[in-house]
Amino acid sequence: MAGVPKRILKEIERLHNDPVPGIDVESVNDSVRYFKVVMAGPSQSPYQGGQFSLELFLPEEYPMAPPKVRFLTKMYHPNIDKLGRICLDILKDKWSPALQIRTVLLSIQALLSAPNPDDPLANDVAEQWKSNEKQAIQTAAEWTAKYAV
Amino acid sequence: MSEGTHPLRPRPVPRNFLLLQELENGEKGHGDGYCSYGLDKSDDTFMYNWTGTIFGPPGTPFDGRIYRLRVYCGDQYPKQPPKVWFITRINMPGVDQQTGAVNPREIECLDKWKPSNNINAVLRSIFSKMTKRESRLAQPPEQTTYPTPLPATGN
């Protein structure tokens, strides 16, 4: 394990010993930088009941640079694009080394509960969200049933 | 110990995140403008199928023509090189005249493949081959294409 920052090892240990409810993090091929994540859709959201797959990678510069993370499950959400890329400020300019894998994943889960169509990554979805929110939420629930179960 | 965990060797970025980065670079349009590339379908989660474009080098038989290529990055990319086909018909050494398939042994970047190479480097290497004397050949009519192959998925 030479060359792996203690910070990363501690984070992994804590994720293992004190897991976040509804979020399962598993290392890919025993890597300390590449993880498969399964996230439960938050209740009271159109993603409720879904199990969503993500992949997360800690670049060389971590924790000075944010983790790279995206959904692998297809999502109908204004801040998530067709490749699963996530528009979230803490993954970009609002990143701070004080944040962790744990806080990033909780923020992503919170984003599922509170879509932000005014800062969209998927423009067509955001349009739908703003013009007919009820229909958009129904579509998101249908996608959850279709792709995330 | 898995490959790349040696502290002195740069750690490999996982395939998907590497391809996401290549996609971003492609969208920004790096390079000299002769070669470009992007995903074939914007919802191809595992980014297997790409479309490349090469503008024919000036002063060659390809001058003024636009060539479209199919680039397939398999699950083992970048350990394994991508597979490449011309979509636009072209007469040059290393391109199968029936299918448009590019023979990797004839393209330097594919023949001497390194995982640090990328899609742009492949297109650049093909472009370079187009400028060689051996590629000065009579060309098929413009805007003709090879028969469309079945889209590849998985491996």
Task: Report the CATH number that the domain containing residue A10 is assigned in CATH.
Answer: 3.10.110.10
Per-residue confidence (pLDDT) for residue A98, from 0 to 100 = 97
DSSP code at position A36? E
A59 close to B (CB below 8 A):
yes
Instruction: Give B35-82 as a DSSP string.
Output: EEEEESSTT-TT--EEEEEEEPPTTSTTTT-EEEEEEE--TTTTTSPP
In a domain, A41, yes or no: yes
Residue-range definition of the domain harbouring residue A89 = 6-147
- Which of B2, B14, B16 is closest, CB to CB, to A30? B2
The CA–CA distances, whole Å, from B85 to A67, B6, B81 equal: 35, 36, 13
Q: Report the gap between the CA of B36 and the closest CA in chain A (Å).
A: 20
DSSP code at position B30? -
In a domain, B5, yes or no: no
Sign of CA dihedral B30, B32, B35, B36: positive
In a domain, A1, yes or no: no
Inter-chain CB proximity A3 and B17 less than 8 Å: no
Q: In whole angstroms, what is the distance from residue A126 CA to residue A76 CA?
A: 10
- Which of A4, A57, A83 is closest, CB to CB, to B13? A57
Lowest-pLDDT range of A88-102, A119-133, B77-91: A119-133
Q: Dump pLDDT digits (tens) for B2-53.
A: 444 455 555 689 999 999 999 999 988 766 789 999 999 999 999 999 999 9
> Which residues of A form the catalytic set?
87
In a domain, B39, yes or no: yes
Inter-chain CB proximity A83 and B14 less than 8 Å: no
A85 neighbourhood in chain B, CB within 8 Å: 20
Q: Determine the residue type at B72.
A: Y
A98 Cβ neighbours under 8 A, 6+ residues apart: none
In a domain, B111, yes or no: yes
B10 close to A (CB below 8 A):
yes
Average pLDDT over residues A63-78: 97
Per-residue confidence (pLDDT) for residue B143, from 0 to 100 = 87
Per-residue confidence (pLDDT) for residue A4, from 0 to 100 = 83
Residue-range definition of the domain harbouring residue B127 = 15-135
In a domain, B54, yes or no: yes
In a domain, A53, yes or no: yes
In a domain, B118, yes or no: yes
B13 close to A (CB below 8 A):
yes
What is the rounded (10 degree) CA torsion for A41, A141, B16, B152? 150
Inter-chain CB proximity A74 and B43 less than 8 Å: yes
Within the 104-123 window of chain A, which residues sit less than 8 Å (CB to CB) from chain B? none
Instruction: Give A128-142 as a DSSP string.
Output: HHHH-HHHHHHHHHH
Per-residue confidence (pLDDT) for residue A91, from 0 to 100 = 97
Our count of domains for chain B comes to 1
Q: Report the gap between the CA of A37 and the closest CA in chain B (Å).
A: 15
Nearest CA in chain A to B23: A83
Task: Report the CATH number that the domain containing residue B26 is assigned in CATH.
Answer: 3.10.110.10
ipTM, two decimals = 0.91
pTM of the full structure: 0.90
Q: Dump pLDDT digits (tens) for A13-69.
A: 999 999 999 999 999 998 999 999 999 999 999 999 999 999 999 999 999 999 999
Our count of domains for chain A comes to 1
In a domain, B10, yes or no: no
